[in-house]
Structure 1
Amino acid sequence: MLPAWILPERWWAPLWRGAARLPLLTRQQAIRRTATGIAAALGDVGAAETRDIARNLRAAIYELRFQDLRAWRPGGWLPKLSLEGEGHLMEALKGGKGAVLWVSPTVFNSLPTKIALHAKGYKVSHLSSPTHGYSETKFGVDVLNRVRCIPEDRYLAERIVFNSEAPTTAMRKMMRALKSGEVVSIVAANTEGFEMVEGPIFGGRLPVAVGAPRLAALTGAPLLPTFVARDPALGFRVVIEPPIPLDPKQPADERTVAAASEYLRRSEAWVRRYPEQWRAWSKWRPRA
């Protein structure tokens, strides 16, 4: 906690990028495995560059812990950030059915998104996994993960935690929030309780949790892809894109697959621009 509180934020990324290159702190086998997947997906990137991407991804995950701890300092964490595409959200909310944000599975997608939306006055209910944070053990869920969740909760109207023993509870809470004209956010990689479908990206396939399009189709709320990235010049960018169309005439399964495919199509440009921040590399598979 002490380094996270006292070191200037501009030092964090260089510090952890250096640490990620130390064999004692980073499993090199895991780096090589991730780099191999990146090379296969992107195709036009050399071996040295893919290893750098894999190491920088690991460094970003380490850096995320500094952000969590800085958020406990008096005054909280005040990053440089921007909310882009807010007009799409404002237009969506005019329909009176709320809006579903389908958030990218990137390293920095959590706290900056909540801070940016809260600062603009939006009431956001976020679907969360019980294991959101650092650990899946009972002690981790009860104690350790609160280090991340408590600061995030300052910026939420409600954290909706999925319970596998009562799966409809989370759905009812999200539907209630949307009926009140509020915003519900769901991360595309959140697999808790939601069906997965495979969609095309980078010439291969990637499993995507499709709770967001199913919820949007059920309630009539617009489905807005939301991409989050840390840019060296712009700070943390929270970018809300135009809604993904959901054709009510399509069968539900076909509509869901089409939404996932469109989401991944839009994702490609973001992943190419910020490849070291995408947490889904390990799940990408080449087309059979």
Structure 2
Amino acid sequence: MRLPWLGNSRNANRQPSSSDIYHTEIIADVAVPERNESVRFFSRKIVRPGKLRRFSNQDLRESLLSCFYLGVAATLPVSWWGPICGWVSGFRRKRHFRKDFARYDVAVKAVLGDAVDTKSMFEAQLAALHTRRLALAAHLVAGWRWSPAIRLEGLEALQGALRNGRGAIIWCDQFAAQTIIGKRALHEAGVDAHQVSAQYHGFSPSTFGLRVINPPLVKVENRFLKSRIVFERTDAYQVTTRIQKTLKANGVVLMTNTVYAGSAFTEAAMGERGWTHLASAPANFAARAGAALFHMATIETVPFRQYRAIVNVLSAGPQMPAAPARDATAKNLAVQARYILSKRDHMLETLKLCPEQMMAWSSATRLTERPTEAAIGNDGA
């Protein structure tokens, strides 16, 4: 799996990009007076659709890793799994340090401060990305040999919100264990959830990946879901309608914090001097539908043996006075901004517990101030 901030290689830069190219614009800067902060809202529109490759450079590697971890999960003791992930992550460690560490170092220190040991954290993150693959293999072949202890915190608050009859949105962070273990934690607690999922969900965005590499992950996740709502830009209206119907039926909708699936996202200050980008869709649905909004993060406390799934209520703060119809959009953005800051606070709190397990990091500079961004209006995702 490529780290989220990785760019193309020098050779790839000589060829036309296969990624979607977007035009990004600032919608509004919304102040939150009681927090003495503001949240910036962006819109993203495709100006050049990307070309779906039949086979990507990483597909062979992902296929070999999948086969290897299936063998590990089927034959070796659970106590060996963690060290094996660390060992395998070392094969390409020098390459990742050469290409990725400089940006990672700046981003992490912008959030957590200059005293943090980013070198050790980066090595641990590379290993954590492999634990995600091995966890998938374990669900496929380990069976009774593997029964991790998963502690779910915040279930009472979620159940209380559902008693109001307006549904609930659970906004999940991109920790390595969230993809499968987070869904499993809710399922084992009796929560039937509907996952909003991007079309290219998985380890590979190629045609081969969609047909061969990604389906096992989707299949395992679906064990713990009531349904999957696949998001495509061409049918955003239908997906929105389905989410609204699910919430009206008092359902639980899971959304992952990725800014690349939707047409809008936000930017807020993060930690010491960093900036984070958060999806705007969860806050928007909560503001419009009146559904309860929750933060969720799942972290591994003992490798492959113990997990902690944390669910917290997100608050929009004090109720705002009724506004005229023409101010409805401004009011909605003000409510969203408060949800965004509440989400940011909980995410930062959890991030400090296990920063090495976070798969997507923030930036040390604002989006509009990055020299590598082509005038912010032509960035690829």
Matched with 2:312 is 241
Contact 1:13-1:60 within 8 A present in 2 as well: no
Name the CA shift for 1:9/1:32 in 2 (closer, same or farther; >3 Å). farther
Which residue of 1 is the match for residue 83 of structure 2? 14
The one-character-per-residue Cα deviations of 1:58-77 (angstroms, maximum 9, x if unpaired) are 11111111111111116376
Query: Structure 2: which amino acid aligns with 1:104?
Result: D
Is the CA contact (8 Å cut-off) linking 2:301 and 2:308 kept in structure 1?
Answer: yes
Distance 1:174 1:216 in 2: 11
Q: CA deviation at 1:122?
A: 1.4
Residue 132 of structure 2 corresponds to 64
Instruction: Return the index of the structure with the highest Cα Rg.
Output: 2
2:143 aligned counterpart, secondary structure? coil
For residues 84 and 169 of structure 1, do their structure 2 counterparts lie closer, same or farther at Cα, with a shift above 3 Å needed? same
Q: Where does structure 2 lack aligned partners over 5 or more consecutive residues?
A: 1-69, 322-329, 370-381
**What are the equivalent positions in structure 2 for 1:153-168 lying under 5 Å apart?**
153-168=222-237
Identity %: 24
| 190 and 198 in structure 1: CA distance in 2 versus 1, 3 angstrom threshold | closer
**Contact 1:118–1:156 (Cα < 8 Å) also in 2:** yes
User: Which of 101, 106, 110 pairs up with 2:175?
Assistant: 106
Alignment counterpart, residue 186 of structure 1, candidates 238, 255, 259: 255
TM-score (norm 1): 0.91
Task: Note the 1:1-288 alignment, pairs <5 A.
Answer: 1-23=70-92, 26-29=95-98, 30-46=100-116, 49-73=117-141, 75=143, 78-189=147-258, 191-202=260-271, 203-232=273-302, 235-245=306-316, 247=319, 249=321, 251-281=331-361, 283-286=362-365
Q: 1:153 to 1:45 in 2, by over 3 A?
A: same
Q: CA deviation at 1:114?
A: 1.2
Q: Distance in 1 between matches of 2:205 and 2:245?
A: 29
Tell me, yes or no, if the aligned pair for 1:102 and 1:188 is still in contact at 8 Å.
yes
What secondary structure is seen at the aligned counterpart in 2 of 1:122?
coil
> Quick one: which amino acid aligns to residue 192 of structure 1?
A
Q: Distance in 1 between matches of 2:196 and 2:147?
A: 24
Letter in 1 for 2:190: G
Contact 2:270 2:276 (8 Å CA) reproduced: yes
Task: Check 1:211–1:117 CA distance in 2 against 1; reply closer, same or farther (3 A cut).
Answer: same
What residue identity is the alignment partner of 1:134? F
Amino acid at match of 2:128: A
Partner letter of residue 265 of structure 1?
Answer: D
Separation in 2, partners of 1:23, 1:98? 44
Distance 1:231 1:164, change over 3 A: same
Aligned equivalents of 2:193 and 2:135: distance in 1? 21
Hey, what does 2:29 align to over in structure 1? none
Work out whether residues 36 and 50 of structure 1, in 8 Å CA contact, stay in contact via their aligned partners in 2.
no
1:168 Cα offset (Å)? 1.4
Q: Aligned partners of 2:104 and 2:85: how far apart in 1?
A: 18
- The one-letter code sitting in structure 2 at the alignment partner of 1:178 is L
Count the aligned residue pairs. Answer: 285
Deviations 1:210-231 (A, max 9, x none): 1111111221110011121111
1:103–1:227 contact (8 Å) kept in structure 2: yes
Q: 1:70 to 1:252 in 2, by over 3 A?
A: same
Q: 1:84 and 1:2 mapped to 2: Cα distance?
A: 33
TM-score (normalised: structure 2): 0.70
Q: Secondary structure at the match of 2:254?
A: strand
Q: Which piece of structure 1 moves more, 141-150 or 91-100? A: 141-150
1:187 Cα deviation after fit: 0.9
Separation of aligned partners in 1, 2:196 and 2:259: 9
Provide the alpha-carbon RMSD of the alignment. Answer: 2.2
